[in-house]
Amino acid sequence: MTTFVLINVTLLAILIATALTISGMRTLYAATMLTALFSLVTACLFVLLDAVDVAFTEAAVGVGISTVLLLGVLSLTRSREAVTPRLRRLPGAVVVLFTGGTLIYASQDLPEFGSPTTPVQTHPLTDVYLRQSQEDIGIPNTVTSVLASYRGLDTLGELVVVFTAGVAVLALLGPLMQPAEAREREVLDLVDYRVLRVVTGMLMPFILLFALYVLFHGDFGPGGGFQAGVIFASGFVLYGLVFGLDRAQQVLPRRVLWVLIAVGPVLYAGVGVANMLLGGAFLDYDTFAPDDAAAGQHIGILLVESAIGVTVAAVMTSIFFGFANRVESSR
């Protein structure tokens, strides 16, 4: 137990030190890199708390995609933070202190870490989810059961949020040029990195295979549609970074991506409508296999997770392409 506490204290100390250093930095590239480090440490803490799915998401999103997107933004703007006059920092400091104070005050009400008497432990609903889900749905990872089946409607809402956000960002990034219209660019900077190209070429199939594994293994271990989508996207981002945007867009044309963005919500809602046509409620997967409820749940969860994966991957990849297009055309 003491080792556990010691590890946690070390990681939290690293976390606080990183946060303080980031806030003192003016060079934004270095700050972005440290943000990635911050995410790595957070993910480690999630692992220690046994929140495997959250750790998965934090690693995939925090370290991979958001670092890439932040760097993409930075390469379009200035990379040094402007100096704010001391006087104008005052309101910010007041807000920060007030919010922080409120949070610390609120944390007094939190139950003790690992306490067995919290509502999470004692409420009958926990038992329902943990035990009943094994009979209803029969997959070991309860997180997936709750996410895709019990709270399927909420997850549909989340998917629509991802869809809307993706469409909004793409609309803001403006009219994108076709690869053919783009001016003849000089050969990419990374072209002379032959080792990098060979290694990336070797890694690509493994990355896509790993993403598929995460998608389909989400029933049994950590992972699922969101994480798999982000891994797919990081694979394509890596490809675009190393081999250039044109080749990446030949592999994944923008029109295909835009269609794929819409495919996810349509497929997800379509599953629900199909359930209704089969005589059940919206997103009642049992109707897929009337004799064996668990089998129907498996089919439903698989379809829904795939829908999530497709949309997340397409949104992330198109946003990256959008930024990278602007970066290249601004050079």
Partner 1 sequence: MIVLEIASGVLLAAGALFVISGGVGLLRFPDFYTRTHAAGLTDSAGAGLILLGLLLQGAGWETAVRLLIIMLFLALTSPTSTHILAHAARRDGVPVWREGDPRR
Partner 2 sequence: MIFAVMAALLVTMVLALVRAFLGPDLYNRILAINMFGTKTVLFVAVAGFLFGRPDFLDIGILYALVNFVAVVAVLRLTHHDEPATGRNGDGHS
Binding site for partner 1 (CB under 8 A): 190, 193, 195-196, 199, 202-203, 206
Query: 209 vs 125, 154, 214, 227, 272, CA distance in Å?
Result: 36, 28, 9, 13, 28
Q: How many CA atoms lie within 13 A of 173 on its CB side?
A: 24
> Among residues 29 and 282, whose Cβ is nearest to partner 2?
29
Rounded to an integer, what distance in angstroms lies between the CA atom of residue 288 and that of residue 274? 9
Binding mask 23-62 for partner 2 (x = CB under 8 A): -xxxx-xx-xxx-xx--xx-xx--xx-x-x--xx--xx--
Binding partner of residue 195 among partner 2, partner 1, none, CB under 5 to 8 Å per kind? partner 1
Could you tell me which residues come within 8 angstroms of residue 100 by beta carbon, excluding any fewer than 6 positions away? Answer: none
CB of 71 vs partner 2, minimal distance in Å: 4
Nearer to partner 1, 103 or 202 (CB): 202
User: How far apart are CB 195 and partner 1 at their closest, in Å?
Assistant: 6
* Sole binder of partner 2 in the list 167, 190, 267, 274 (CB under 8 A): 190
Residue 307: phi and psi, rounded to 5, are: -60, -45
Tell me how far, at minimum, the Cβ of 193 lies from partner 1, in Å: 5
Q: Hey, what's the torsion of the CAs at 100, 101, 104, 109, to 10 degrees?
A: -130
At its nearest, how many Å lie between partner 2 and the CB of residue 177? 19
State yes or no: residue 196 binds partner 2 (CB under 8 A).
yes
Which of 273, 257, 269 lies closest to 311, judged by CA? Answer: 257
What residues between 258 and 277 interact with partner 2 by CB under 8 A? none
In angstroms, the CA 331 to CA 329 distance is 5
- Check residue 174 and report its DSSP letter: -
Is the distance from CB of 225 to CB of 305 less than 8 angstroms?
yes
In the list 138, 179, 221, 280, the residue contacting partner 2 (rule: CB under 8 A) is 221
CA atoms within 13 Å, Cβ hemisphere of 100: 6
Locus of tokens 């807000």: 95
- Please report whether residue 216 would count as binding partner 2 according to CB under 8 A: no
Q: Write down the least CB distance from residue 164 to partner 2, Å.
A: 26
**Which lies closer to partner 1 via its Cβ, residue 201 or residue 290?**
201
Of the two residues 3 and 84, which places its CB atom closer to partner 1 in the complex?
3
Quick check: 192 binds partner 2 (CB under 8 A)?
Answer: no
DSSP-derived secondary structure for 37-82:
HHHHHHHHHHHHTT-HHHHHHIIIIIIIIHHHHHHHHHTTS-SBPP
Query: How far, CA to CA in Å, does 113 sit from each of 21, 108, 329?
Result: 28, 12, 52
Q: Which residues bind partner 2 (CB under 8 A)?
A: 3, 7, 10-11, 14, 17-18, 21, 24-27, 29-30, 32-34, 36-37, 40-41, 43-44, 47-48, 50, 52, 55-56, 59-60, 63-64, 67-68, 71-72, 74-75, 79-80, 83, 189-190, 196, 200, 203, 207, 210, 214, 217, 221-223, 227, 231, 234, 237-238, 241-242, 327
